[in-house]
Structure 1
Amino acid sequence: MGPDEVLRGTLMYFVLPLWLAAGFADYLCHRAAHIEKTSGWRESILHLLQFGEMAIPVLAALCFEITSGVILIMIVFLILHEATAIWDVRYASAMREIQPAEQHVHSVLEMLPLTGLLLVIALHWPAFAALFGIGMPDFSFTLKQQPLPVPYIFTMLVLTALLEVLPYLEELIRGLRHRNQPAQE
Structure 2
Amino acid sequence: MTQNDPTMLLLLYFVLPVWLLAGISDWLCHRKTNIETTTGTKETFIHILMFIEVGVPLLAAIFMEVNALIIGLMIMCFFLHEATALWDVSYAVTAREVSPIEQHVHSFLEMVPLMALLLVISRHWEQFLSLFGFGPTKADFSLSFKSEPLPVSYVAVLLTAILLLEVVPYLEELVRCRRQRKA
Q: TM-score normalised to the size of structure 2?
A: 0.96
Q: How does 1:30-109 map to 2 (within 5 A)?
A: 30-109=30-109
CA distance in 1, matches of 2:146, 2:2: 21
1:162 counterpart residue number: 164
CA distance in 2, matches of 1:95, 1:72: 36
Does structure 2 retain, via aligned residues, the 8 Å contact 1:43–1:88? Answer: yes
Residue 132 (structure 1) shift: 1.3
Does structure 1 retain, via aligned residues, the 8 Å contact 2:2–2:9? Answer: no
Q: Count how many residue pairs are aligned between Structure 1 and Structure 2.
A: 181
Cα pair distance change 1:2/1:177, threshold 3 Å: closer
Q: Deviations over 1:161-181 (max 9, x none)?
A: 000000000001111100111
Q: Which runs of 5+ in 2 are unaligned?
A: none
Residue 4 (structure 1) shift: 6.5
Q: Deviations over 1:52-106 (max 9, x none)?
A: 1111000000001110000000001111111111111011011111000000000
CA distance in 1, matches of 2:139, 2:66: 11
Cα pair distance change 1:146/1:56, threshold 3 Å: same
Does structure 2 retain, via aligned residues, the 8 Å contact 1:54–1:81? Answer: yes
Amino acid at match of 2:105: V
2:123 counterpart residue number: 123
Does structure 1 retain, via aligned residues, the 8 Å contact 2:36–2:180? Answer: yes
CA distance in 2, matches of 1:89, 1:63: 32
> Segments of 4+ in structure 1 off by > 2 A?
1-4
CA distance in 1, matches of 2:139, 2:149: 22
Q: TM-score normalised to the size of structure 1?
A: 0.95
Amino acid at match of 2:31: R
Amino acid at match of 2:99: Q
2:6 counterpart residue number: 6
CA distance in 1, matches of 2:2, 2:62: 21
CA RMSD of aligned residues (A): 1.5
Identity in percent = 51
Cα pair distance change 1:69/1:164, threshold 3 Å: same
Does structure 2 retain, via aligned residues, the 8 Å contact 1:62–1:148? Answer: yes
CA distance in 2, matches of 1:128, 1:12: 20
Amino acid at match of 1:42: K
Secondary structure (helix, strand or coil) at the match of 1:148 reads coil
Amino acid at match of 1:120: V
